[in-house]
């Protein structure tokens, strides 16, 4: 009797489970039917789309930073030491070649120059007297009134006086050179960028007093990959960007030597007159290079990141007079700030989603905004 009771209980359990499964199946089927009906009744979502245009010879603009600098920059100082008497320019002043920028106290040297001039004059007078004496001795020698020895002594005295005159003149010239070296002259046209001393200071020989930068001859030095540097043409203009401002510079030459640390070759460009570039600023060389592959451009907002680092775009697939989204895997060939060059299972002329990929899912019905009036 107990065995029959257990059998009946087990049968009831099985029957209940079977009934539950039947109810679940019917419930899921009804839910799917309702979902399908709801999806079919949902209107297509307007989306922004673009037409795919394949390119075989696409170019990309690559930029390389370079430093704008003066072709010449000098630290100017006095060759002779002394007290600074006058500084004629200050920071920001423009100077021309040969302009006197500063002077030392020259009173002592000027006194030495005056003394050397006096010694030169004295030596000149002694030379003149010696020549007159030699002339008279020659006349007396012809008449036999003096010996040859006496005449030779007079001639030697004349030569010695002339030598002393030359020495005095050379000494005076040396003093004048020292006087000139007590002034700083601009070696070229430029702008004073630093003033490192003031009047009254004692300047040591060679101590920098001014920093001068050539104003009308700027250049840009850019580190470039070897292949890019090799394709540059001498004396040809190239485009640079300084912020949002564009200007041109002419390629002069490259070093042809690869830097061990940066693995780049330095190229030098000369700036044209009137360029907005400023020494010490950074400009970017813009070079167009071929992509080297067939593909098409898409905005980065059209790319959806998938698993394993793969990227995909949403293709608008025509279906029954509407469009349905399909995810298509693409390969990114080049990526820029706001766009990417890709290739993949998308045909030329197809429509893909250009933005708003976070609002849609594969299989969703959409209508492209660009075809609102032409949509079938």
Question: Rounded to 5, what percent of the chain is helix, strand, coil?
Answer: 35, 40, 30
CA dist 14 and 162 (Å) reads: 143
Strands 45-47 and 365-368: parallel
**Residue 6: what pLDDT?**
46
**Residue 170: what pLDDT?**
93
Per residue of the chain (376 residues), give pLDDT as tens: 444 444 445 555 445 555 555 545 444 444 444 444 444 557 888 999 999 999 988 888 888 999 998 888 999 999 988 999 999 999 999 999 999 999 999 898 889 889 988 999 998 999 999 889 889 888 888 888 888 888 888 889 989 989 998 998 998 898 888 888 899 999 999 999 999 999 999 999 999 999 999 877 889 999 999 989 998 999 999 999 988 888 999 999 998 898 888 899 999 999 887 777 888 889 999 998 888 889 999 999 999 987 777 899 999 999 888 899 999 999 998 888 899 999 999 999 999 999 999 999 999 999 888 643 333 3
DSSP one-letter code for 279 = T
**Short-list 31, 50, 23, 34, CA closest to 357:** 50
| Radius of gyration of the CA atoms of the chain, in A | 47
Q: Give the three-state DSSP class for 89.
A: coil
**Residue 12: what pLDDT?**
53
Whether residue 278 contacts residue 36, with contact meaning beta carbons closer than 8 Å, is answered with no
**Short-list 58, 65, 63, CA closest to 333:** 58
**Residue 19: what pLDDT?**
52
CA dist 199 and 82 (Å) reads: 11
CA dist 125 and 185 (Å) reads: 37
**Residue 65: what pLDDT?**
94
DSSP one-letter code for 336 = -
**Residue 13: what pLDDT?**
47
What are the start-end ranges of the H helices in 181-316? 226-230
């Amino acid at each position: 009797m107990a065995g029959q009771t257990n059998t009946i209980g087990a049968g009831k359990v099985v029957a209940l489970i079977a009934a539950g499964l039947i109810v679940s199946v019917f419930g899921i089927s009804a839910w799917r039917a309702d979902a399908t009906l709801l999806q079919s009744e949902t209107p297509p979502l307007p989306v922004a789309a673009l037409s795919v245009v394949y390119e075989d010879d696409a170019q990309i603009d690559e930029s390389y930073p370079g430093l704008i600098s003066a072709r010449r920059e000098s630290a100017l100082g006095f060759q002779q030491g002394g007290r600074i008497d006058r500084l004629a320019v200050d920071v920001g002043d423009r100077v021309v070649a040969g302009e006197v920028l500063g002077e030392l106290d020259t009173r002592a040297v000027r006194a030495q120059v005056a003394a050397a001039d006096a010694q030169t004059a004295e030596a000149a007078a002694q030379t003149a007297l010696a020549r007159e004496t030699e002339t008279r001795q020659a006349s007396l020698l012809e008449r036999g009134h003096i010996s040859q020895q006496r005449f030779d002594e007079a001639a030697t005295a004349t030569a010695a006086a002339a030598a002393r005159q030359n020495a005095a003149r050379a000494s005076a010239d040396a003093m004048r050179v020292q006087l000139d070296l007590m002034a700083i002259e601009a070696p070229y046209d430029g702008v004073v960028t630093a003033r490192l001393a003031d009047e009254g200071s004692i300047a040591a020989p060679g101590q920098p007093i001014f920093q001068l930068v050539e104003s009308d001859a700027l250049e840009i030095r850019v580190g470039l990959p070897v292949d890019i540097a090799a394709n540059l043409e001498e004396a040809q203009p190239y485009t640079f960007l300084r912020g949002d401002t564009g200007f041109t510079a002419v390629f002069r030459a490259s070093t042809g030597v690869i830097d061990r640390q940066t693995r780049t070759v330095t190229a030098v460009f000369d700036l044209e007159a009137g360029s907005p570039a400023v020494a010490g600023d950074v400009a970017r060389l813009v070079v167009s290079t071929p992509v080297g592959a067939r593909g098409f451009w898409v905005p980065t907002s059209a790319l959806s990141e998938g698993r394993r680092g793969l990227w995909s775009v949403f293709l608008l697939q025509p279906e029954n007079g509407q469009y349905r989204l399909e995810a298509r895997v693409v390969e990114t060939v080049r990526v820029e700030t706001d766009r990417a060059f890709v290739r993949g299972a998308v045909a030329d002329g197809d429509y893909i989603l250009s933005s708003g990929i976070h609002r849609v899912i594969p299989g969703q019905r959409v209508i492209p905004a660009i075809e609102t009036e032409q949509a079938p």
